[in-house]
Amino acid sequence: MTQLALVIDLNVCVGCHACVTSCKEWNTSGTAGFMSDYNPYDKDPTGTFFNRVQTFEIGKYPNTQTVHFPKSCLHCEEPPCVPVCPTGASYKREQDGIVLVDYDKCIGCKYCSWACPYGAREIDENQKVMKKCTLCVDRIYDKTLPEAERKPACVLACPTSARLFGDVNDPDSVVSEQIRDNGGYQLMPEWGTKPANHYLPRRKANITIHRDELTRVDNPLNKERQLPMPDDDEQTLDDVMSW
Amino acid sequence: MHPAFSVIFLTTLIGVGQGLFLALYTGQLYSVIQVLPVQDSPGFYGYGSLLALVFLAAGLLASFFHLGHPERAWRSAAKWKTSWLSREVIVLPAFMGLTFIYAMIHISGWNPVLFILGEDFIVNLSLFIGAINTVLAFSLFICTAMIYACIKFLQEWATPLTVINYTLLGMASGFALSAAFAAYVQSDLINFYGGWTITLTIFAFITRIAALMRNAKIKYKSNLSSAIGIRHTKIKQIAQGSMGGSFNTREYFHGTKPIFFKSIKWVFLMLVFIVPVVLLIAALTTNIFVLFAVAFVVQYVGLIAERWFFFAQANHPQNLYYQTI
């Protein structure tokens, strides 16, 4: 069974928020209605977003790592927000596993937002319905778009290709490959929600070099010998630069 | 969580309604088996049930204020197979309907005998309807409480104590109202209802304290490390993804000072349990209606504080993504 999802590579995310703005731009322009903003240019701006980037500092200075952490609906394989919905407005699509809200059925009771451990759902204060990431369902199947553009807006916008999109149940897809090869993990696995979205951890490329390996012992042509110092009266690069 | 007053009034008001109906029906049932004296049918059971109906209707009305789209509320009966909220939406009107029918049977006096059990246990229509409605009353307690208790990662709520407390507190407040009602109509059941109110309040006190003690030493399964999947003991949040707050920073936090939050616990322990019991003991010794009424009102106000605390105390795991509020 197909389960579309995002794989987010924390190793390359630079925290530029391009995914946030492109998501908002695409989804606020859609047929489902705009995503309302309040005080956008004033004190305490707030509004509906499907995707946000948070930043964490790991460790204690000076041994710190800055991790930018994009956060959106994880399209769980066992979504706890779906069974609690009294109207059936919150549902998981059979064909591709995307968790969606039917805005025409939603009564705005907020129960699903309580039942999501990730806080991935937000009520739209204008439309008074629950909204969340749709994985750009109105874009990824759009035959009028070139095939390369049939991806979620955030994936297309990411300048570092930190966001990958595909079927996590297809073992040969690029996302499955990345999860396998680079230690992809799920958020809060303790609740059994089986998030479809995975994150790739920070990775350091380490090689171990011992001191005796710094100079080659087998160096028959003596290629890496120390160059002789120039003579005192000979011009050096320093002389040219200071002139 | 951010306590919503619509839900606080819904859960406390229908609790009173359910408890009052259960009190009245217990009175009727005991009179049939000749433990208690029979009451004036329309004046006591009839109007008493209508009073319960007023509280249930007020609770239902309050619930509409919680909805973004109240006009679509009828849709919420759809997913009763999976959603406790949907089940509540079905059981509440059913309970209200049967309470109304029960009241009308008593007020109209049309109460045919259906069958006789054993030698002299006469089951008339009101007793039969009341029995079904009693099942509905307890089902409604379970549905209401399970809405909260079924969310397993809201660990303060995910306990059978939630269901027990909703049931006992609802019954205690309903019986307190029945005692005041009995005192108002000068029924001879004042001592029966007053005594049961004290008993239920003490039982509720024990189970509510049990819940408070359980929650005081709760061990959270999620932490910031599992939330973002980075194994480190020192993680500091630098940015939360928005400048002026968001739904996530408003809906899941009670937003009051810790001192206020803590004081509410002592307020509700006093108002729900200690003050009403003292007032009821005074009322039962003096038989003054006003004391019964004040006992009920004080306990109800206390229940609003209790429910506020119940919601505010729940710590949602999404709060891990919002370290500074």
pLDDT digits (tens, 9 = 90+) for B130-181: 999 999 999 999 999 999 999 999 999 999 999 999 999 999 999 999 999 9
Distance of CA B138 to the CA centre of its chain: 11
Domain residue extents for chain A: 4-200
Contact B147 A111 (CB under 8 A): yes
* CB pair distance less than 8 Å for A83 and B82: yes
Nearest residue in chain A measured CA to CA from B316: A117
User: Which residues 115-144 on chain A approach chain B with CB closer than 8 angstroms?
Assistant: 115-119, 122-123, 127-129
CA dist list (Å): A158 to A140, A152, A153, B207, B210: 16, 10, 9, 53, 51
What's the rounded mean pLDDT across residues A58-68? 94
Closest Cα of chain B to A106: distance in Å?
Answer: 8
What pLDDT is stored for residue A222 in this prediction? Answer: 65
Give the Cα separation of B52 and B56 in Å (integer): 6
A73 in Cβ contact with A133 (< 8 Å): yes
Q: How confident is the prediction for chain A on average, in pLDDT?
A: 92
Residue A82: band (very low, low, confident or very high) from pLDDT cuts 50, 70, 90: very high
Q: Nearest CB to B251: which of A108, A113, A115?
A: A113
A99 phi and psi angles, rounded to 5 deg: -90, 125
Which among A84, A89, A127 is the nearest to B85, CB-wise?
A84
Contact between B103 and A104 (Cβ < 8 Å)? no
The mean pLDDT value for A107-128 works out to 96
d(CA B10, CA B63): 6
Strands A198-200 and A37-38: unpaired
What is the CB neighbour count within 10 angstroms for residue A235?
A: 10
d(CA B70, CA B63): 9
Mean pLDDT of A206-222: 75
- Strand partners of residue A198: A7
Position A132 pLDDT exceeds 60: yes
Class of A4-200 in CATH = alpha beta
> Do the chains contact at A86 and B75, CB–CB below 8 Å?
yes
Question: What are the tokens at B319?
Answer: 């709060």
Question: Is A201's CB within 8 Å of B252's CB?
Answer: no
What three-state secondary structure class fits A153? helix
* Spatial CA neighbour of B91 closest among B38, B50, B136, B28: B136
Q: Which residues pair with A163 in a beta bridge?
A: A8
Residues of chain A with pLDDT > 70, as a percent, come to 93
The verdict on B317 touching A (C-beta cutoff 8 Å) is: yes
Amino acid, res. B219: K
Cβ–Cβ contact B229 with A under 8 A: yes
Confirm if B21 and B174 have CB atoms less than 8 A apart.
Answer: yes
Among B85, B144, B249, the strongest candidate for a mutation testing the A interface, having the largest count of A CBs within 10 A, is: B85
Subunit contact A56:B236, Cβ cutoff 8 A: yes
Q: Which residues of A touch B73 (CB under 8 A)?
A: 107
Q: How far are the Cα atoms of B208, B251, B263, B275 from residue B8, in angstroms, in the given order? A: 17, 15, 18, 21
Interacting residues of A18 by C-beta distance below 8 A, sequence separation 6+: A154, A157, A158, A159
- Which residues on chain A are in Cβ contact (under 8 Å) with B237? 54-57
**Of B77, B243, B318, Cβ closest to residue A118:** B318
Instruction: Nearest by CB to A58, from B153, B232, B242: name it.
Output: B232
Strand partners for B284: none
Find all residues with CB under 8 Å of B117, minimum gap 6, and list them: B123
- Provide the chain A residues 170-199 that lie in CB contact (below 8 A) with chain B: 185-191, 199
Distance of alpha carbon B184 from alpha carbon B44, whole angstroms = 10
Any bridge partners for residue A189, and if so which?
A: none
* Element at A54 (helix H, strand E): strand A51-60
For chain B, which residues score pLDDT lower than 70?
none
User: How far B241 CA lies from chain A's nearest CA (Å)?
Assistant: 5
Question: Between A15, A46, A108, which is nearest B246 by CB?
Answer: A46
Contact between residue A176 and residue A168 where contact means Cβ atoms under 8 Å apart:
yes
DSSP for B193-247 reads HHHHHHHHHHHHHHHHHHHHHHHHT---S--HHHHHT---S-EEEEE-S-SS--H
- Is the pLDDT reported for residue A243 higher than 60? no
**Which chain B residue shows the shortest CA-CA distance from A37?**
B246
Any chain A CB within 8 A of the CB of B90? Answer: no
Determine contact: B273 vs chain A, CB below 8 A.
no
**Average pLDDT for A131-159:** 96
CA B33, B15, A88 angle in degrees (round to 5)? 120
Q: Please report residues of A whose CB lies closer than 8 A to that of B68.
A: 106-110, 123, 127-129
What DSSP designation does B253 have? -
Reported as half-sphere exposure (CB side, CA atoms, 13 A), residue B13 has a value of: 20
Assigned token pair, A35:
């995503």
How many angstroms separate the CA atoms of A132 and B111, rounded?
54
Residue with tokens 């916008």: A157
Mean pLDDT value of segment A75-82:
97
Q: Which residues pair with A55 in a beta bridge?
A: A68, B239
What residues contact B246, with CB distance under 8 A and at least 6 apart? A46, A47, A49, A52, A122, B240
A107 touches chain B (CB under 8 A): yes
Q: Report the distance separating Cα B222 and Cα B185, nearest Å.
A: 54
**Would you call B68 and A128 a contact, using CB atoms and an 8 Å cutoff?**
yes
Select from B2, B79, B89 the residue whose CB has the most chain A CBs within 10 Å, as the one to mutate to test that interface: B79
Whether B228 and A185 lie within 8 Å, measured CB to CB: no
> pTM, whole model, 2 decimals?
0.91
Cα→Cα distances A116→A73, A99, A133, B227, B319, Å: 9, 12, 13, 13, 11
pLDDT at A223: 66
The answer to whether the Cβ–Cβ distance between A187 and B73 falls below 8 Å is: no
Q: For A138-147, give one letter per residue: b (16+ CB within 10 A) or e.
A: ebbeeeeeee
Pairing mode of beta strands A4-9, A198-200 = parallel
Tokens of B282: 């005074």
For chain A, list the strands marked E by DSSP: 4-9, 37-38, 46-47, 51-60, 63-72, 90-92, 99-101, 122-123, 130-131, 163-167, 198-200
The rounded distance, in Å, linking the Cα atoms of B130 and B41 is 13
Residues 38-67 of A with CB under 8 A from B: 39, 43-49, 52-60, 66-67
Q: What fold is seen in the domain B5-218+245-321?
A: Formate dehydrogenase/DMSO reductase fold (1.20.1630)
B132 touches chain A (CB under 8 A): no
